[in-house]
Amino acid sequence: MKRAGNPCNDYVERIVLVALGEEDHEAERHAEECQGCREWLEEMKRIMEVARLKRFEPPQELVDQVKGWAERRTVRAEPVRSSLGLAGARRGEADAFQVLLDAAGETVRVAYTREDGSWKVLVEAPAIYGSLRIGGKTVAGSDGRFRFTVRSLKQSGFVLKSPFREIEVPPVEESE
């Protein structure tokens, strides 16, 4: 709006103040006579109307629920079902098995496959979990899917991370 030598330069800030509700008869009169300033005033009034936010008091139940989420930032996953016993992994006989875990209503599925003396681990979690931490390292995932390798099942514990929550998944030997 402001340009060198433009006589309207003196009114730009004053018109914004008029749009905010202040009285400035001279600026109002100028806006009535000048099409550019009139359009500027109308635009500023529209912007101010959109910017006026109404105060919203959320229901106490919602406030309590959000506080509960903040307090439960880290949740420990508990096993729901496993093919560990059936596969004979405890006796060192299995080459593959799965564990289904629950973490405060969120399901995590972990598949283990023995390969070349180590365990390949595939994790399927809700898509909001974008990374996991294992042994001090961060592994990035895609749509809640992660892959990593561990030497033994005792090293298989990890933490899934989302912006809102972490899920601690214990090593297999702890979870069975």
User: What's the pLDDT tens digit per position in 99-122?
Assistant: 999 998 899 999 999 999 899 999
Q: Are residues 37 and 80 in the same domain?
A: no
* Residue 90 pLDDT greater than 80, yes or no: no
Reported confidence tier of residue 68, pLDDT bands at 50, 70, 90: low
Q: Are residues 27 and 103 in the same domain?
A: no
Reported confidence tier of residue 16, pLDDT bands at 50, 70, 90: confident
What does each C-alpha distance from 64 to 14, 76, 106 come to in angstroms?
A: 45, 21, 20
Q: Are residues 38 and 91 in the same domain?
A: no
Q: Are residues 36 and 76 in the same domain?
A: no
Residue 59 lies in a domain: no
* Residue 61 pLDDT greater than 60, yes or no: yes
Q: Are residues 76 and 47 in the same domain?
A: no
Q: Are residues 140 and 170 in the same domain?
A: yes
Residue 168 structural domain: 72-175
